Amino acid sequence: MKSPGYGAAPRERGLTTCLCRLMNEGTQLLDPFDIDLSPSIYHSQIMAELRPRLAYDGSDLVAWQRRLRRKLRDLLGYAAQPKTPLNVRQVWRREHRLGVIEKIVFTSEPFVDVPAYVCLPKNAQPPYTFMICLQGHSTGMHVSIGVQREDETQLFDSPGDRDFALGCLARGIAALCIEQRSFGERREQVQKRVSAHGCHDAAMQALLLGKTLIGERIYDVERGIDYLAARRDADMRRIGVMGNSGGGTITIYAAALLSRLAFAMPSCAFCTFRDSIGAIYHCADNYVPGILKVADMGDVLGLFAPRPVVVVAGRDDDIFPIGGVQEVFAQLQRIYAAAGAADACRLVIGEGGHRFYAADAWPVMLDFMGALN
């Protein structure tokens, strides 16, 4: 009986006996359990045997990063383009027990407006360390400041430590919370027929245009950094990015491409492609055409070396399995060691599932931030 290959499902049992047993005399009977019908069997076998051609091989690190970053930009459809004026508009500004929160809208590119919260801590003085906070598949950026989306005067109990901005403020760190494309206030509201999964339509439309939704979301982060530079109260040497799940994915890719980021804290998004999005149902916005032929996730985040990164994972996360996390983190460690920064990448494992682990992750990140002083 043939091997089903890595991660393959059991053999298909959908063929009936009458279809299997050919009645012509002398015809060999077909064993219904010795056929490959599920596409995952084929794909998982290829993934098990594939060796990404730009995986780090121990050669000159800077030259390797330059080659992979160039290729990654191509795969993401992340081409250089003229920058449109930010055209920042204030929506509201409120005092908070931890500081001040202002809601703004800025223009990222033509026909693309980005709502955001700017959160300034009361226990710190400018120039501020800023963390760009990215929510994943949720009701939106409002989760980061613990208010309801439809009525921002009402409190919201953010599950799984996802009130990222409040966590920043409590630690004397300013935050820029960006509403990601297809989430929250930026969910599709014009198209007449939409997918039941909010990211699907935008992800597919981006592919038609030679783009990716990941690349488009990274561009909003880049424009967010432009906004911080224009404020003049941000310490541009101390800008970081963090997020969970879909926010963690953009944290990883943004860290790989954007040179102005000083530290990164992706949560529940870092895993081998083979064990996560290559084996388990995930939203289409996680996929980059051809990425696994070029690099795995450890190589992608390795483009951030030697800058400090805290990778957060849940031991019981069932969509980013911990075995795949540990495997690809070992790959990341090798890259950081080659960069002479072995101590600048840390893996924090929380005792639970798919969520952020503030009490475990923040002390490590604060140590890194302190070292940057």
Which uninterrupted H or E stretch holds 235?
strand 234-244
Judge whether 286 and 243 are in contact, CB under 8 Å.
no
Per-residue pLDDT tens for 261-289?
Answer: 999 999 999 999 999 999 999 999 999 99
Q: Which residues contact 57 (CB under 8 A, 6 or more apart)?
A: 64
Q: What is the mean pLDDT of the chain?
A: 92
Closest CA to 105 of 227, 219, 199: 227
Q: Is residue 270 part of a domain?
A: yes
Expressed as residue numbers, the domain containing 330 is 89-371
Q: Is residue 78 part of a domain?
A: no
Question: Distance from CA of residue 31 to its chain's centroid?
Answer: 43
Asked whether residue 313 falls in the same domain as residue 228, the answer is yes
Judge whether 221 and 227 are in contact, CB under 8 Å.
no
Asked whether residue 341 falls in the same domain as residue 267, the answer is yes
- Give the integer Cα–Cα distance in Å for 202 and 225: 23
- Give the integer Cα–Cα distance in Å for 183 and 200: 11
Written as six digits, the tokens of 35 are 């056929």
Asked whether residue 39 falls in the same domain as residue 109, the answer is no
CATH code for position 261: 3.40.50.1820
Closest CA to 277 of 324, 315, 240: 324
Q: Is residue 65 part of a domain?
A: no
Asked whether residue 2 falls in the same domain as residue 109, the answer is no
Closest CA to 162 of 281, 314, 277, 42: 314
Q: How many domains does the chain have?
A: 2
Q: What is the pLDDT of residue 3?
A: 39
Neighbours of 256 (CB within 10 A): 24
- Give the integer Cα–Cα distance in Å for 311 and 325: 9
Q: Is residue 83 part of a domain?
A: no
Which uninterrupted H or E stretch holds 336?
helix 322-338
Asked whether residue 171 falls in the same domain as residue 284, the answer is yes
Q: What is the pLDDT of residue 13?
A: 43
Asked whether residue 35 falls in the same domain as residue 183, the answer is no
Asked whether residue 41 falls in the same domain as residue 103, the answer is no
Q: Is residue 329 part of a domain?
A: yes
Q: Is residue 280 part of a domain?
A: yes
Per-residue pLDDT tens for 320-330?
Answer: 999 999 999 99
Asked whether residue 245 falls in the same domain as residue 300, the answer is yes
Q: Is residue 335 part of a domain?
A: yes
Asked whether residue 171 falls in the same domain as residue 292, the answer is yes
Q: What is the pLDDT of residue 26?
A: 55
Please state the rounded mean pLDDT for residues 348-362: 98
Per-residue pLDDT tens for 11-58?
Answer: 444 444 444 444 455 566 767 778 889 999 999 999 999 999 999 999
Q: What is the pLDDT of residue 33?
A: 74
Asked whether residue 299 falls in the same domain as residue 174, the answer is yes
pLDDT for residue 122 is more than 50: yes
Asked whether residue 166 falls in the same domain as residue 100, the answer is yes
Question: Distance from CA of residue 152 to its chain's centroid?
Answer: 26
Per-residue pLDDT tens for 279-320?
Answer: 999 999 999 999 999 999 999 999 999 999 999 999 999 999
Asked whether residue 36 falls in the same domain as residue 167, the answer is no
With 0-12 CB in 10 A as exposed, 13-18 as middle and 19+ as buried, what is 85? exposed
Judge whether 324 and 272 are in contact, CB under 8 Å.
yes
In the three-class reduction of DSSP (H, G, I as helix; E, B as strand; rest coil), residue 237 is classed as strand
Lowest mean pLDDT across 23-27, 76-80, 100-104, 127-131: 23-27
Q: Is residue 247 part of a domain?
A: yes
